[in-house]
Amino acid sequence: MVHSKFLLPGILCLIFTVVQSENLPEIENTVFLKWFESYKTDEKIRSGELNVLSYNTWGLPIELSGHDHEKRFTAMADSILTLHPDIIGLQETFHPNLRAQLLNTLPRTFFTYSDYHCNKEIVPFVEKDCYGGLMTLSVYPIIWEQFYPYPIADETTIIEKIGSKGFLLSRIKYGDRIIQVINTHLYAGDNKKAERMRLNQIRFMQETVKSIPDYSTYETILLGDFNVHHPDVACSEVYDFIIQHMAYADSKPNISQTDFTSDHAANKYVSAKDKRTKLDYVFYKPVGEKKNIKIVSQNRALTSTQPLSDHFGWSVRFQI
């Protein structure tokens, strides 16, 4: 006798396959397809599965020779969709054309909260976004979100001032739970001054979230381009601060060369002068003493031989 819990998904899959036949009308916007997608989402919540992607898109506001904006921007959304992420944290979505491409496709599948169409002028006829290049998207509803810009110091470079970096804190309704996601992009540079600036930024983040009354009541995922080396590559005060003082766990505490997200050996857009390293991370922190977040699998992502950015993404599958 076939148990009903196996029969229903089988029937649904059969119906879905039949109606998607090339001989039948397209049903992308029908009630059935929406219901089926909702059913799959509910099943993922019941299983505790959560797939998270962090990706620096390299969407600089001005195109320089060899950056291939049009080719990369037009392919990016569909490439992201092939990974089937549940939560996406993007960095460097400065360019209006990149955001237009992403927002033309991704909101069909993902919720957003902030107005990512927002632009502000850097110099005449050159615009960038309003959130430090950050975008957070989720297949689950984003119920609250706030962007916190990092303080600007006298020694901050012009490029970093233009970038107006910060962190984006989102609260996502995952079934009957709330999950917090912090998406950030820290100060760039492989030198002592840059590391000091990053340390100031991450300390600002810590003090800011501490001031939010109910912040510590929710499980939190911290992701983004941290511009710091993994300890298996080189020491970083910022990395140590995140682990030791902010009490986050790195999804990948030990790495190999196949985990490098900045890798001139595998990515034509990375300068051969740059150290091969991991700059992009997904950290996580359970609530209190409950160690109820597990890593099922993870890997660097969007690693085509025709890369879409000067970074590879970092994808993590959680069991929460």
Spell out the domain ranges in the chain: 1-47, 48-319
Residue 289 pLDDT > 80:
no
Residue 249 is predicted with a pLDDT of 97
- Which SS3 state, helix, strand or coil, does residue 203 take? helix
Distance of alpha carbon 246 from alpha carbon 194, whole angstroms:
20
Distance of alpha carbon 201 from alpha carbon 34, whole angstroms:
41
Selection from 84, 89, 91 nearest residue 51 by Cα: 84
Residue 128 is predicted with a pLDDT of 97
Confidence of residue 16 (pLDDT cuts 50, 70, 90): very low
Residue 24 pLDDT > 80:
no
Residues 238 and 198: beta-carbon distance below 8 Å:
yes
Residue 6 pLDDT > 50:
no
Residues 93 and 129: beta-carbon distance below 8 Å:
yes
For 153-269, where are the alpha helices, taking DSSP H only? 158-163, 192-210, 237-244
Residue range 35-60: mean pLDDT, rounded: 89
User: What are the DSSP calls for 36-77, one per residue?
Assistant: HHHHHHHHHHHHTEEEEEEEE----SSPPTT--HHHHHHHHH
Residue range 219-242: mean pLDDT, rounded: 98
The residues with which 50 forms a beta bridge, in sequence order, are: 318
Q: Which residues contact 155 (CB under 8 A, 6 or more apart)?
A: 193, 197
Distance of alpha carbon 13 from alpha carbon 158, whole angstroms:
54
Residue range 289-296: mean pLDDT, rounded: 79
Among the listed ranges 10-14, 39-43, 47-51, 132-136, which one has the minimum average pLDDT value?
A: 10-14
Residue located via tokens 């020694």: 155
More confidently predicted of 85 and 3: 85
Confidence of residue 135 (pLDDT cuts 50, 70, 90): very high
What is 48-319's CATH number, 3.40.630.10, 3.40.190.10, 3.20.20.150, 3.60.10.10?
Answer: 3.60.10.10
> How do strand 49-56 and strand 87-91 relate by DSSP bridges?
parallel
Residue range 281-295: mean pLDDT, rounded: 84
Residue 43 is predicted with a pLDDT of 86
Residue 42 pLDDT > 50:
yes
Q: Which amino acid is at 103?
A: L
Percent of the chain surpassing pLDDT 90: 81
The predicted-structure confidence for 257-266, as pLDDT tens digits, reads as follows: 999 999 999 9
DSSP state of 216: G
Distance of alpha carbon 63 from alpha carbon 158, whole angstroms:
17
Residue 33 is predicted with a pLDDT of 64
Residue 23 pLDDT > 70:
no
Residue 297 pLDDT > 80:
yes
The predicted-structure confidence for 96-112, as pLDDT tens digits, reads as follows: 999 999 999 999 999 99
Residue 39 pLDDT > 90:
no
Residue 2 pLDDT > 50:
no
The predicted model scores a pTM of 0.89
CA atoms within 13 A of residue 315's CA, in its CB half-sphere: 16
Q: What is the mean pLDDT of the chain?
A: 91
Selection from 136, 132, 134 nearest residue 149 by Cα: 132
Residues 90 and 280: beta-carbon distance below 8 Å:
no
Residue 166 is predicted with a pLDDT of 99
The predicted-structure confidence for 136-152, as pLDDT tens digits, reads as follows: 999 999 999 999 999 99
The predicted-structure confidence for 76-93, as pLDDT tens digits, reads as follows: 999 999 999 999 999 999
Confidence of residue 291 (pLDDT cuts 50, 70, 90): low
Residue 20 is predicted with a pLDDT of 46
